[in-house]
Amino acid sequence: MELLKKKIREEGMVLSDSVLKVDSFINHGVDPQLMDAIGEEFAGRFGGQGITKVLTIESSGIAPGLMAALKLRVPLIFARKRQSLTQSEGLITSKVYSFTKREENTISISGKYIQRGDKVLIIDDFLANGQAAFGLIDLVEKAGADIAGIGIVIEKSFQDGGAILRQKGFRVESLAEIESLEAGRIAFKEDQASELNRS
């Protein structure tokens, strides 16, 4: 997705060989026009398959997830990382280990919102080692629903989450695939121009 790659080239900061900072438009500041286009792109790629729900995880998955849900005309559900005060019955939970933060979170959704018969599109902002995606898949499977696919805004293809998910037979669609962040350069998969942009 050219618009997204342009934004990453212009505003992305390479923090290390494995971490890309995109705080100005995805992880802290959010660019609504870009999110609108991202939602449209996901809807174009996954539309026509009878998707009934979009599932993401708080917090940075919510903006792209909401726009995808809006364009697909289905509800959005976001998994919580902390249990809500008002949510206790019928919780479906899964454990997610973050390599970045070196901590384990229990993520949850209410069984009310995803049920047998649902066809779920999973959306997230980043795909690195795939732990968040595996946790979301586990929630959908525990709910007895089907997975239509996994839509990712930025995939770091030098980490193995995408390869494992595809090997398992999931349809993974990433709007920007980054092959390398070495030496401060953002190298997209197809190969495109990279940029020196170390913060």
Q: Is residue 82 a contact point for ligand G4P (CB under 6 A)?
A: no
At which residue do the structure tokens 């009878």 appear?
50
CA angle 134/142/148 to nearest 5° reads 60
We find the least distance from the C-beta atom of residue 141 to ligand G4P, in angstroms, to be 17
We find the least distance from the C-beta atom of residue 95 to ligand G4P, in angstroms, to be 12
Q: Is residue 99 a contact point for ligand G4P (CB under 6 A)?
A: yes
In this complex, which beta carbon is closest to ligand G4P, that of residue 26 or of residue 143? 26
Q: Is residue 88 a contact point for ligand G4P (CB under 6 A)?
A: no
C-alpha to C-alpha distance for 3 and 35, rounded to whole angstroms: 11
Omega of the bond prior to 157 within 30 degrees of 0, cis?
A: no
Q: Is residue 131 a contact point for ligand G4P (CB under 6 A)?
A: yes
How far apart, in Å, are the Cα atoms of 50 and each of 31, 46, 77, 117, 149? Answer: 28, 9, 17, 11, 12
Residue range at the interface with ligand G4P (CB under 6 A); choices 31-39, 119-127, 143-151, 166-174: 119-127
Residue range at the interface with ligand G4P (CB under 6 A); choices 112-120, 127-135, 145-153, 168-176: 127-135
Residue range at the interface with ligand G4P (CB under 6 A); choices 43-51, 54-62, 139-147, 182-190: 54-62
Those residues with Cβ within 8 angstroms of residue 149's Cβ, 6 or more apart along the chain or in another chain: 46, 49, 121, 122, 170, 171, 172, 173
Q: Is residue 121 a contact point for ligand G4P (CB under 6 A)?
A: no
Q: Specify which residues 187 forms β-bridges with.
A: 180
Residue range at the interface with ligand G4P (CB under 6 A); choices 16-24, 36-44, 111-119, 144-152: 16-24
